Amino acid sequence: MPSVERRASPQLIGSRAGGLHSRTIEVLDQRGIAERFLSQGKTYPFAPFHPISLDISDFPTRHNYVLGLRQNHVERILAEWIGELAVTIYRGREVTGFAQDDTGVAVALSDKSVAPRGISRRVAMAAAASFAKQPASSFPAGIRRRAG
C-alpha cells in the first residue's frame, strides 16, 4: 500500500518525541518489530507525568515500561522496515482529494498526480480522516468538507 508523506525527505528538523509508551511498543510487537526498537533504546519502569513519574512496572502487559528512543531513531527504524516491505512512498506531497469506484480508490496528490487506482478502502479511509482534519480554510477551491 502506498504512503503519502508531506516531508520531501525523511530527515527531521529539530527535536521531537523522546520515547515510546508501552501501548505503542505493544502495537510494534504485534507487527513483529518491537525488538528493532528495544535494541536501540533504553527502558524505564516509569512514565513522566509533568512534575512526577508514575511507576508502570505493575502494568498488566509484557511491555510495562517506557522506551527512551529519540524520534529520529524511531523514524529511521520504521523507514528501514517500510523499505523491506517495498512500499511506495510519495514524498513532498499531500492528499488533496480522493474518489472511489468499483475498482478501488484514486487519491489526488498536491503535485496534481494521482496515486494508482486500486488502493484499498482502508487506506482511503485513513487518507480521508487526515484530509478531514484540515481547517476548512485550507481546502482547495471547490472542495467542501461535510459538517459532522
What values do phi and psi take at 105, rounded to 5?
-125, 135
Rounded to two decimals, the pTM is 0.68
Residue 131 has a pLDDT of: 57
Answer for the pair 143, 97: CB distance below 8 angstroms, yes or no.
Answer: yes
CB 114 within 8 A of CB 25: no
**pLDDT over 50 at 7, yes or no:** yes
- DSSP secondary structure string, 16-63? ---EE-HHHHHHHHHTT-HHHHHTTSEEESEEEETTEEEE-TTSSSS-
> Could you read off the pLDDT of 92-134 as tens digits, one per residue?
988 888 787 777 777 888 888 877 665 555 555 665 566 555 5
